[in-house]
Chains A and B, each alone.
Chain A
C-alpha cells in the first residue's frame, strides 16, 4: 500500500509539475538511418550467438575403444558473417567447446595403463575457432535463410583432463573419482574440417578431426573417433 501511495504522489508530481505525457514519439529521421544499416542477418555484417551439441562417431582403435553414447560435445559461441554476394558469405566463429570421450573398459584398452576402471574419460575444454564459406540456398530478406557452410576449424585445448572412476576393489565402498588435470599426453591443438546445413535457426553440422589427439603414440594406436555430428541452435531472430 505504501508503494502505491508513493507511486500515486510521484505520478501526480510528474504529470502536473512536468507537464505532458508522450503517448507516442517517433524520430523518423533517426530511424531512416537504421533502415540503411549494413548490419543484419542478410546484410554486410552480422554477429549471432549459438549453442551446439554433438555426438562423437567413427571408428576407434582397439586400444582406445570409445563408447559412443558417452562421447560427445557441447559448445556456446558467437559467429560473424560477412556477406560477399547475395548467395555467398564467409565468416569466423569463436566458441567454448567441451569435448568428452568415454573409453570402454576391456582387455585391449590401453590408455596409459590397461587397468579396467568403472569409468574412464578424456575431457577437453577447448577454445574453438572456425573459418567458413557460406552458400545461401534460395532467396530471403533480412533473414539468415537456408545455408550450407564448409570450412576449417582449429581448437586450443585449454583444459585436458583424464578422469577415472574406480571402486578401489572395496565392496560397497563409495566410488572414487580421480581427475588428472592438464595431462601432457594429450595434444594442445586440434584441427579439422567442418560442414553445416542451416534451416536457419537450427543447423546440423559435422566435423572431421584431421589431427591426432594423443601425443607420442604409435600409428593407429592413438585413434579416437574423429567425427562429431550435431545440432546447432542459432540465438538470433
Chain B
C-alpha cells in the first residue's frame, strides 16, 4: 500500500506542477492613465501615423493602469510581459490564483498562453549549392530587383523591424557592413533577456536579415540595402519554441520606434490551434498583426512550412486579413515548393497573398549558405515592400499591399499555393511591357466539357519546365473549388466537365502572362 501512496503523491505533484501556467490577463479599461504620444513615439512613428491619418492619441497606445497591474501581480507568481494594444499583462499563475485574478472587478478575461511556434525554416542538411551564383541572381531578378535598383529604390527612408531568434555576427559579418557603416541599425532589443544585445543566439535572424538587406561580394542578397532596421529577438530557440508574449511586445516596440514594415517568420499551428481557428480573428497574434496594420505598418509574415504535413495550411498570424502572408516557390522550377503552407483561411479568404523564393542564399554565422523555408520567402518580399513603398511614399499600408498583390507575376490569376505570384518591380517602376498580351489559348466547348487549347503558335509548350498552365475553378464569391498547375505536352491542355461550371462558377486560366476566364 505504501507504494500506492507514494505513486499517488508523485502523480499529484506532477499534476500540480503541470497546472501552473502562463496566462494573459485582460483588463476592462484604462482608467486614470496619462499618455503623451510625443514622448512615447519615435518621430518616425509620428510621421508614419500622420501620413496615414492615424490618430496619435489612440486608447490602444495608452499605458496599462499600474494599480491593476499591481493587484494582479500580488495574486500571481510572476509577470513576463504586457501589451498596451490589448490592455493585458502576462503572468505565471496556478489555477486557484488565476481564478482569484479573474474575479477582480477590473479584469475582463484571462487566457492561457501556450508558447509553441515554428520558425518557418526547413532544416535540410546539404552542402552549399553549386548553383550559388544562379540562385543569388534569381532571388533578386525573380522580383525584377535590378529595376528597383536602377531606379534608385533600395528601401531608403523605410524602417523595417525584424523579429527573430537572434542575430549573431550581424555586428561583424561583411554582408551587413553597409548597414553598420551607415548606422542603419537604429535600435535592438532582446525581449527574451530584456537587454539591447541581440548579436548572438540563433542564426536564423542573421539569415532573414540578409534576405532583406544583405550584400555579398558586391551582389544584393535582398532588395532593401538602404533601409533602416530595428532588430528584435523574440524567440528563445530556432525551432520550435517561441514566446508569444515577446512577439506581442515586439509589435508595440516596433510601432513605438517608427517601423514601417515588420518582417516575421513564425507561425502558430497545431500545438495551439485547430485549422478552423485560422480565420483571421481567433488567435491573439493574428489580432495583434491586424492591429499593427491598423497602426499603419505592413506586416510581412511567412505562411509556414506545413504544406507537406497533415496540418497543410498557414499558421497564425499568416491568417490575418490585413497582412502580407508569403508562400514559397522553388527557384529551380518557379512554382510551389513542396513544404510551403497552403491557403485559404478558414473563412475562405485568399492566402498566401504573394510568394517569394523558399530556397535562398543567406548569411550564416560564419559565411554564406543556402537555406530552405518560407522564413526566407517573407524577408525577401519584405525587402521588396520597402522598395515599393519608397517608390510610392503617398500610399497607405493597405493601398500598398493591394498594389503589391497586383504586381504579382500571375495577377489577376491567384490560387492557394501561389497567391498572386511573385511581386514584380517593373510594376512599380513602370518599366514592364504594357501592350495587351497576345492570345495564347482558347476555350473550346464540346458536348459536356470545355477544353483549354493552346494556340498553334505556342510551340514552346513542348519544352519541359518552360511554360506552365495555371487554372482554377472558383465560385462567384472568389472561393476556389479546385486549382492546378499543368505542364503541357499537347495543345489540348485539360478538359473540364461543364458540371463544375454550374451556378456561375468561373474557370480562370493563366499561361505565359495571358489570362482568360470562361463561364457558362
Q: Does A25 contact B (CB under 8 A)?
A: yes
Q: Does A57 contact B (CB under 8 A)?
A: yes
Instruction: Flag if A137 contacts B269 (CB, 8 Å).
Output: no
- A-binding segment of B146-154, B212-220, B477-485: B477-485
Residues of A within 8 A of B468 (CB): 23
Q: Does B518 contact A (CB under 8 A)?
A: no
Cα A38 to Cα B356 with chains together (Å): 35
Q: Does B466 contact A (CB under 8 A)?
A: no
Q: Does B417 contact A (CB under 8 A)?
A: yes
Given the contacts A57-B3, A137-B18, A21 and B274 also touching, CB distance less than 8 Å: no
Nearest A residue to B275 via CB reads A35
Instruction: Flag if A146 contacts B481 (CB, 8 Å).
Output: no
Nearest B residue to A229 via CB reads B7
Which residues A2-58 have CB closer than 8 A to chain B?
A: 15-16, 19-29, 31, 35-36, 40, 42-43, 57-58
- Partner of B15 from A26, A40, A148 at Cβ < 8 Å: A148
Q: Does B272 contact A (CB under 8 A)?
A: yes
Q: Does A139 contact B (CB under 8 A)?
A: yes
Instruction: Flag if B486 contacts A227 (CB, 8 Å).
Output: no
Instruction: Flag if B114 contacts A20 (CB, 8 Å).
Output: no
Which residues B415-465 have CB closer than 8 A to chain A?
A: 415-417
A: number of interface residues (CB 8 Å): 40
Report A233 CB to chain B, min CB distance, Å: 18
Cα A229 to Cα B114 with chains together (Å): 29
- Partner of B7 from A15, A29, A148, A206 at Cβ < 8 Å: A206
Given the contacts A22-B485, A27-B482, A42-B274, A237 and B310 also touching, CB distance less than 8 Å: yes
Cα A187 to Cα B209 with chains together (Å): 69
Instruction: Flag if B481 contacts A29 (CB, 8 Å).
Output: yes
Q: Scoring A residues 119 to 138 as 1 if CB is less than 8 Å from chain B, else 0, what string do you get?
A: 00000000000000000011
Cα A225 to Cα B8 with chains together (Å): 17
Instruction: Flag if B7 contacts A26 (CB, 8 Å).
Output: no
Q: Scoring B residues 262 to 306 as 1 if CB is less than 8 Å from chain A, else 0, what string do you get?
A: 000000011111111100000000000000000000000000000
Which residues A76-120 have CB closer than 8 A to chain B?
A: none
Instruction: Flag if A141 contacts B272 (CB, 8 Å).
Output: yes
Residues of B within 8 A of A208 (CB): 4
Cα A143 to Cα B274 with chains together (Å): 9
Report A235 CB to chain B, min CB distance, Å: 15
Instruction: Flag if B274 contacts A141 (CB, 8 Å).
Output: yes
Instruction: Flag if A28 contacts B480 (CB, 8 Å).
Output: yes
Cα A35 to Cα B272 with chains together (Å): 16
Instruction: Flag if B15 contacts A20 (CB, 8 Å).
Output: no
* Residue among A20, A25, A31, A146 having the largest count of chain B Cβ atoms under 10 Å: A20
- Partner of B482 from A28, A59, A143, A195 at Cβ < 8 Å: A28
Q: Does A142 contact B (CB under 8 A)?
A: yes
- Partner of A141 from B277, B310, B336, B415 at Cβ < 8 Å: B277
- Partner of B272 from A20, A23, A137, A140 at Cβ < 8 Å: A140
Instruction: Flag if B4 contacts A138 (CB, 8 Å).
Output: no
Residues of B within 8 A of A137 (CB): 15, 18-19
Cα A229 to Cα B3 with chains together (Å): 10
Residues of A within 8 A of B336 (CB): 24
Cα A2 to Cα B489 with chains together (Å): 26
Report B104 CB to chain A, min CB distance, Å: 21
Nearest B residue to A143 via CB reads B270
Residues of B within 8 A of A22 (CB): 484-487
Q: Does A197 contact B (CB under 8 A)?
A: yes
Instruction: Flag if A19 contacts B270 (CB, 8 Å).
Output: no
- A-binding segment of B43-51, B490-498, B507-515: B490-498
Nearest A residue to B310 via CB reads A237
Q: Does B33 contact A (CB under 8 A)?
A: no
Which residues B133-157 have CB closer than 8 A to chain A?
A: none
Q: Scoring B residues 335 to 351 as 1 if CB is less than 8 Å from chain A, else 0, what string do you get?
A: 11000001010100000
Given the contacts A20-B487, A143-B271, A227-B4, A26 and B112 also touching, CB distance less than 8 Å: no
Instruction: Flag if A20 contacts B489 (CB, 8 Å).
Output: yes
Q: List 24 A-B contacts (CB under 8 A).
A: A16-B489, A20-B490, A20-B493, A21-B486, A21-B487, A22-B484, A22-B485, A23-B333, A23-B335, A23-B468, A27-B481, A35-B276, A59-B3, A138-B21, A139-B114, A140-B272, A141-B271, A141-B277, A142-B273, A142-B275, A143-B271, A143-B272, A197-B18, A208-B4
Known: A36-B276, A143-B270; 5 extra A-B contacts, CB below 8 A, are: A15-B489, A19-B493, A28-B479, A197-B14, A227-B7
Residues of B within 8 A of A (CB): 2-4, 7-8, 11, 14-15, 18-19, 21, 112, 114, 269-277, 310, 312, 333, 335-336, 342, 344, 346, 415-417, 468, 479-490, 492-494
